[in-house]
Copies of this chain bind each other. A is one copy, B any other.
Amino acid sequence: MDILYDCWLAYGKDGSMKWTEKYLRKLCILCSGRVIGSAAKELETAYRRLAGKDPERISEPFSGGCFILRINEGLCAGGYRISVSDDSIVVEGGDENGVLYGVFRFLVLASGGYSPESLNITEKPFFSLRMIDQWDNADGSVERGYSGASIFYEKDRPVSDMKRLTDYARLLSSVGINAICINNVNVHKTETYFITEKFLPDIAKIADAFSDYGIKLYLSVNFAAPMEIDGLPTADPLDEGVINWWKCRAENIYIHIPDFGGFLVKADSENRPGPYSYGRDHAEGANMLAAALKPFGGNVIWRCFVYNCHVDWRDRHTDRAMAAYSNFKPLDGKFADNVYLQIKNGPMDFQIREAVSPLFGAMSDTNCLCEFQITQEYTGQQIDLCYLVPMWKECLDFDTYHSGKGSLVSRNVLGAAGVSNVGSDLCWTGDPLAGANLYGYGRLVFDPGLSAEQIAEEWVRAAVTADNEAAGTICRMLLSSREIYESYTSPLGVGWMVTPHYHYGVDVDGYEYSPWGTYHYSDRNGMGADRTKATGTGYTAQYASHNEEMYEDLSTCPEELLLFFHHLPYTYMLKSGKTLIQHIYDSHFEGSEKAEELLLQWRSLKEKLPAEIYSEAENRFEKQLLNSRQWRDVINTYFFRKSGIDDIHGRKIFR
């Protein structure tokens, strides 16, 4: 056992599961199948860890303590019920996946020291599609990866050793993930060939490993693949040759991978090819692929992250935030029923604070998914602590008002996709505490009704420590971390201000004169992006009228999004009674102080924590403190130099 590698599957790490031995020693498996096999194997693993020997397989329940698995057709797909009694522990699932999820749930909570009584649980998945997207490249790199190299590829080949991937499948299925796309949405030259004979046998082995855990495999495809692979003269989705080409590809893929999930497509975005190149729209592009997959039950996941990345910064009317809605809203109802539009939580790009995408709820006749970024690209890169579940929950709980009050995002989408934060690091996620985001993503999309607090507590107890006091401290650290990170980085929803390309660390003007459409428009008088209908880009009109009015009006616009929607003078008075500039100074001084508190809180736990986790994270808290101070001083100096307004508290702002 390695506490870093095992993550939240570190059964018996601190004696808290002792009581389960009585049940785990006799396994009574009353159902069968490959996924059931994995569930049984997991129980065996747990028992071996606890007792140092194999459990006994029995064919009928034993009243002196046993662990029973069975299918209960009264439960829905993926649903399960755990029943704990003196005699036995019974895990019933609506299907094989349900049984597996129930087993994991039991083991994780028990390992976290939760009481036997509290483990009588019945749950069912809220979303049918619960997906993970790997941004892994065939060369072994991971785009926006902060946890080492890819665990899927090295040297332009899929890996051949399935051990690590099997353990990854365990981690993912333990929180209910049932789909994974194993290559980067930016499909480069080598990956374009993943759908050919050159790679399919190897990819089928990976698919097989994930299928054992009820996870379907998807591939990102290159829309121009017919031209690149076979030299077709076009990739026009309405061209007969192209249509047939994809049909043949699909048939062939399903020969290798009978339960293949389908394609993920980033088209016409950031210089990727797509239907626009041929005068076709995204529905025509997606539906062509969907038709090829349809006979085999496959899906097309089509990303809505489509915008012009060659904007002229001089043009203050073009607004990148409007792009997804502008591109896709006119196509509502035109997509085939096995197409899912994957919509990022916000309209920009995974910033620490953005408005919720106006596309949610606006596509009532289209299957939609919500895309979250588990990997912390703009949110601390697994150096700075940033527990993202509260942010994702805000998105899922956001009321779009598109069908009247109560039109929550969670009711407007059929599932979610999360960009993985995993790599070859021993602890999987660079910062071991970033494991909370991977765990949390899975749990939240299984049940969006869960609180961020509950998820944090489950994870901390299973993955770090079941010690009540220490776990409580770490939970509080996690739960405050997003606001801390936000407070010392870009203010009030304006976003960016990061080092170009790297996206870690401060560079206020880094993207200000770039073609990326990401501007804060700070001058000597004020700052912010005016997205109002009245005087700005008109972005607010993409929301249902209730929200449009809320954002349009300064008095009702949520203050944390003030600079996302409005351009305001530094002297603008916030509800707190502070001016905007004073808020910037205050939040940056305080944010950096709180980053220091995180480090001190962590250090206070040293004796109570596994040494490996302690030191990996301590090292990162130290870096976070330096990062927060650089952000604080650069932001404060930058805005002092522009505004000329002093901090009313006279703290040190460098000239």
Q: Which residues of A contact B (CB under 8 A)?
A: 313-314, 316, 506-510, 513, 521-525, 630, 633-634, 637-638, 640-644, 654-655
Contact = CB atoms under 8 A, between A and B. Distances in A.
B513 A634 contact: yes
Contacts of A633: 314, 513
A523 B316 contact: no
A50 B569 CA distance: 74
Contact of A513 (B316, B506, B513, B644): B506
Contacts of A522: 641
Given A314-B654, A654-B314, A655-B316, A642 B513 contact: no
Given A316-B655, A523-B644, A525-B644, A508 B509 contact: yes
A644 B509 contact: no
Given A508-B509, A513-B637, 18 more contacts: A316-B655, A506-B513, A507-B509, A507-B510, A507-B513, A509-B509, A509-B638, A510-B510, A513-B630, A513-B633, A513-B638, A522-B641, A523-B642, A523-B655, A524-B641, A524-B643, A525-B644, A642-B642
A585 to B, nearest CB: 16
A641 to B, nearest CB: 4
Contacts of A655: 316, 521, 523
Nearest to A506: B513
A641 B642 contact: yes
Nearest first, the 6 closest Cβ-Cβ pairs linking A and B are A523-B641, A314-B654, A513-B634, A509-B509, A524-B524, A524-B644
A633 B655 CA distance: 26
Interface centre among A508, A640, A654 (most CB of B within 10 A): A654
Residue among A314, A506, A640 with most chain B CB within 10 A = A314
Contacts of A510: 507, 510
A489 to B, nearest CB: 14
B314 A524 contact: no
Contacts of A521: 655
| Majority secondary structure of chain A interface residues (helix, strand, loop or mixed) | loop
A634 to B, nearest CB: 4
Contacts of A513: 506-507, 630, 633-634, 637-638
Nearest to A515: B630
Nearest to A644: B524
A591 to B, nearest CB: 17
Nearest to A634: B513
A86 to B, nearest CB: 65
A643 B641 CA distance: 10
A316 B506 CA distance: 20
A633 B633 CA distance: 27
Contacts of A314: 633, 637, 654
A638 B509 CA distance: 10
Nearest to A633: B314
Nearest to A514: B507
A506 B521 CA distance: 17
Contacts of A643: 524
Given A314-B633, A513-B630, A637-B513, A642 B524 contact: yes
Nearest to A527: B641
Contacts of A640: 523
A517 to B, nearest CB: 15
A107 B115 CA distance: 95
19 contacts: A313-B654, A314-B633, A506-B513, A507-B509, A507-B513, A509-B638, A513-B633, A513-B638, A521-B655, A522-B641, A523-B640, A523-B642, A523-B644, A523-B655, A524-B641, A524-B643, A524-B644, A525-B644, A642-B642
A590 to B, nearest CB: 19
Contacts of A523: 640-642, 644, 655
Nearest to A505: B513
A253 B568 CA distance: 68
A397 to B, nearest CB: 37
A262 to B, nearest CB: 40
A338 to B, nearest CB: 44
A635 to B, nearest CB: 10
Nearest to A654: B314
A230 B521 CA distance: 56
Contacts of A654: 313-314
A524 B525 CA distance: 10
Contacts of A316: 655
Nearest to A641: B523
A508 to B, nearest CB: 7
A248 to B, nearest CB: 40
Nearest to A315: B654
A31 B644 CA distance: 76
A630 B510 CA distance: 15
A627 to B, nearest CB: 13
Nearest to A525: B644
Most-contacted residue by chain B among A507, A521, A640 (CB, 10 A): A507
A655 B523 CA distance: 8
A296 to B, nearest CB: 45
A6 B20 CA distance: 83
Contacts of A506: 513
Contacts of A507: 509-510, 513
A525 B513 CA distance: 22
A642 B642 CA distance: 6
Contacts of A642: 523-524, 641-642
Contacts of A524: 524, 641-644
A644 B523 CA distance: 8
A313 B633 CA distance: 10
